[in-house]
Amino acid sequence: MGIEELLATIRGFDGVVELAPQSGSDAPEIAWGDHFFYWAADGRVPQRGQPYATIVTKDYPDDVRSQLDRPGRFRVNVQVPVAEFAELVGDVGDDPDHAEADRVLPHPVYAAQSWIAVVDPGPRTTATLLRLVEDAHDRARLRGERRGDVAGP
């Protein structure tokens, strides 16, 4: 699945808010070109909390094992429940190849917070990845509703 098709799918979720910093924005330059997804009833990026999923298009200084600086590569990151994390990545061993494409892997930096990562999703991971992103979106919506977040005027 290409990045544009994936973005179109996620953008179609009810209540999704996408932060996609671009050149010249107030966001740090390192984040330009990446995508951060939240649920928000009012359509604005929440001032607190983390995104439930991200798409990154380059290596970060502390995160180079996915080798995203190769042309055309990107990685989808999704926070999942702890039990599901264990089911998804329990068989990858202690030091997986984080650059392997089309495989659900523990996030190279945030695995301890039960984040998974998929570099260049393809036929092996697309259906699972879409389900994981949608489930993460639904959990974010439920958290927002429990806090009493409602759509603004």
pLDDT in tens, the chain (153 residues): 899 999 999 999 999 999 999 999 999 999 999 999 999 999 999 888 899 999 999 999 999 999 999 999 999 999 999 999 999 998 777 789 999 999 999 999 999 999 999 999 999 999 999 999 999 999 999 999 898 776 544
Q: Is residue 152 part of a domain?
A: no
Q: Is residue 153 part of a domain?
A: no
Q: Where are the alpha helices (DSSP H) in the chain?
A: 3-11, 82-89, 126-147
Q: Is residue 10 part of a domain?
A: yes
Q: Is residue 22 part of a domain?
A: yes
Using DSSP's 3-state secondary structure scheme, residue 91 falls into coil
> Residue 134 is part of which domain span?
3-147
Distance separating alpha carbons of residues 53 and 36, to the nearest angstrom: 6
Distance separating alpha carbons of residues 153 and 151, to the nearest angstrom: 7
Neighbouring residues of 145: CB distance < 8 A, sequence distance ≥ 6: 41
The two structure tokens encoding residue 24: 């010249």
